[in-house]
Amino acid sequence: MTWADFWALIATLNGEATEESCQRLAEELSRRPVSDIVGFAERHAEALYRLDQEKFGTLPVVDLTARFGSPFPQSSDVFLYARCAVVAAGQAVWESVFFDADKFAPYTSSECEEWDRSTRYCSESYSDRDGWPDLRD
């Protein structure tokens, strides 16, 4: 699947992954051949993987503070949900965060979950070692 095809499918979400928009996307994918479904899953995992970077994962959760007012850090799950929300927001948003990490911040309070499948790229938080130089072995 090309990136253009992937982003066209993501556009069916209308910028956010609600139950209704995800159902629309699932229905669209169900009318396609298995190769398109697999291709979509691969592109989705790669889009998430590319966002798996320290500059995004170390941002605090927006509008949430810890004890004594200190910033509240993202957990690995929150970071995954934020990355999913950025992808669901569409190609323009996804591309823009790479140039301005602050544009990622509003998505840290999102509740956009990932779906399980086997793909070339791991979508779990902190799996892109190049994006997390301090975590390299």
Could you read off the pLDDT of 78-101 as tens digits, one per residue? 899 999 999 999 999 999 999 999
Q: What is the extent of the structural domain holding 76?
A: 3-127
Residue 24 or 134, more confident: 24
Partners of 60 in the β-ladder: 73
CA distance 5 to 35: 13
According to the model, what pLDDT value does residue 80 have?
92
Q: How far apart are alpha carbons 72 and 119 in whole angstroms?
A: 31
| Domain assignment of residue 135, yes or no | no
Question: What is the pTM (predicted TM-score) of this model?
Answer: 0.81
Q: What is the mean pLDDT of residues 91-116?
A: 86
Query: Are 98 and 31 a contacting pair, CB within 8 Å?
Result: no
Q: Assess if residue 133 is contained within a domain.
A: no
Which residues lie across from 71 on neighbouring strands? 65
Grade residue 123 by pLDDT with cuts at 50, 70 and 90. low
Task: Give the model confidence (pLDDT) of 23-75 as tens digits.
Answer: 999 999 999 999 999 999 999 999 999 999 999 998 988 876 677 777 778 88
- Strand 60-65 and strand 71-73: pairing? antiparallel
Residue 115 lies in a domain: yes
pLDDT surpasses 80 at 121: no
pLDDT of residue 82: 93
**Residue where the block lists tokens 């399980």:** 116
- pLDDT of 137 > 60? The answer is no
77 lies in a domain?
yes
Position 50 scores a pLDDT of 96
φ/ψ of residue 82, rounded to 5: -65, -45
DSSP reduced 3-state for 62 = strand
Domain total in the chain: 1
